[in-house]
Amino acid sequence: MIHSVVQVRSGAHRYRALIGSNLLRRTGEYVRKHLAGQRCVIISDSNVAPLFGNRVSRSLISAGFRPIPITIPAGEKAKTLKQVGTICEQMIAAGLNRKSFVIGLGGGVVGDISGFIAAIYHRGIPHVQIPTTLLAIVDSSIGGKTGVNTRDGKNLIGAVHQPSLVIDDVDVLKTLPRREFNQGFAEIIKHAIIADARMFGMLQDWKASEAPALKQLVLRNVKIKSKIVAKDEHDLTGKRALLNFGHTVGHAIERAGNYRKFLHGEALSLGIVAACAVSIKRAGLTSRQRDAVIDLLQRFDLPTCLPKNFPRNKILSAVKFDKKFENGKIRFVVTPRIGAAYLATDVTLNDIREAVAAL
Ligand SMILES: NC(=O)c1ccc[n+]([C@@H]2O[C@H](COP(=O)([O-])OP(=O)(O)OC[C@H]3O[C@@H](n4cnc5c(N)ncnc54)[C@H](O)[C@@H]3O)[C@@H](O)[C@H]2O)c1
Ligand SMILES: [Zn+2]
């Protein structure tokens, strides 16, 4: 078997994530097993399309599909409603209909925007995710959250639209810049903290990034994310909220840095350190385990303290802007020990202030 399969269940939806090496050149064959139509768009970005666009296109054509490539500028700035409108108009002009489908070939930006287009085009057509960043493979391509940003904030417009198929080819990660690769590990370490103490131990001994090791790691993370999502597709029961571990402060740091200073995974790394501090106070996490988390983040060159001149006061205002406080308390994910997490209701703004001051 050249790839592993994770069956993802979400509400009434079932789909597969294929994980392996050298899968892109068989895209057509895999897609053919799941989708009947002929016409599709391959949405990609200006960095990824030149690297993998042809390989994916050729494979689709040889399986009898008629793909149209659409390339957007690389980066978060392209994740807008305006871009969605432009792409939809191109799709209409090309005569794509209800039987057509959308392939997203790229990182989380491409995954989110292509998924959103699939959710709304002709009121919803199938979506195939081909994630090309580690973050997109282990996180954003699973779970069906799609959307775009507006002037006032990230991901304020969107839809839940599950993909029909996810193709995780770990070979694509070879061209990923080191900083982008490392930020994916912030989500992986988060998964280990909330759900998998053994994986945490494995990461402490992590040396190489060769395909077999990477494949195993991806497999484990896709399983963790899909298991949590399966229990709570629409974020209603609080289970999915566990995935937000480290994100309350992480998002606030991203915002305070105007989304330029830190990549998402880097801000998350700092948010994880803050969440560990809150967990020591509110959930009985030991300081030894907190130190182990910090060591692990540092192994992947992720930041664990803020630069001296960083506007810390902006972090607190961003937390207040983002989150609802009831009687001065906030819902905040804490970890009592590595491998477990729960949603606490007794965390105060002051706890967060102290944790941020210590960063
Ligand atoms: N839907 C969800 O559940 C979810 C979860 C987490 C994050 N997200 C979203 O994901 C986005 C971030 O995703 P990201 O970190 O993948 O960023 P990204 O898509 O911007 O990719 C990062 C950079 O790497 C480049 N790149 C991608 N693959 C490459 C490859 N194989 N080789 C060389 N370069 C490559 C891209 O062109 C880009 O410049 C954010 O918009 C975030 O909101 C969504
Ligand atoms: Zn995240």
Ligand 1 pocket, residue 176 CB under 6 Å: yes
**Amino acid identity of 108?**
G
Ligand located closest to 51 CA: 1
Please give the number of the atom of ligand 1 that sits closest to the Cα of 187. 6
Which protein residue has the closest C-alpha to ligand 1 atom 11?
Answer: 108
User: What is residue 10's predicted lDDT score, i.e. its pLDDT?
Assistant: 83
- pLDDT averaged over consecutive 10-residue blocks of the chain (359 residues)? 87 92 97 94 98 98 97 96 98 96 98 98 98 97 94 86 97 96 98 97 86 91 94 78 96 92 97 98 98 98 96 91 80 97 94 96
**Cα 76–184–322 angle (5° rounding)?**
55
* Atom of ligand 1 lying closest to residue 145 CA: 1
- How close are the terminal C-alpha atoms of the chain, in Å? 46
Ligand 2 centre and the CA of 75: distance in Å? 16
The dihedral formed by the CA atoms of 186, 302, 251 and 85, expressed in degrees to the nearest 10? -70
In ligand 1, the atom with minimum distance to the C-alpha of 155 is 43
From 56, 140, 190, the mutation candidate for ligand 1 (largest count of ligand atoms within 8 A of CB) is 140
Q: Which pLDDT belongs to residue 151?
A: 83
Q: Which ligand is nearest to the CA of 136?
A: 1
Task: Calculate how far, in angstroms, residue 132's C-alpha sits from the geometric centre of ligand 1.
Answer: 8
Per-residue pLDDT at 338: 98
pLDDT at residue 1, as a whole number: 57
Q: What angle do CA 281, 289, 310 make, to 5 degrees?
A: 65
Distance 181 CA to ligand 1 centre (A): 10
Residue of the CA atom closest to atom 2 of ligand 1: 140
pTM over 0.75: yes
* Beta pairing, strands 153-160 & 145-150: antiparallel
Atom nearest to 115 CA in ligand 1: 1
Indicate whether residue 140 lines ligand 1 (CB < 6 A).
yes
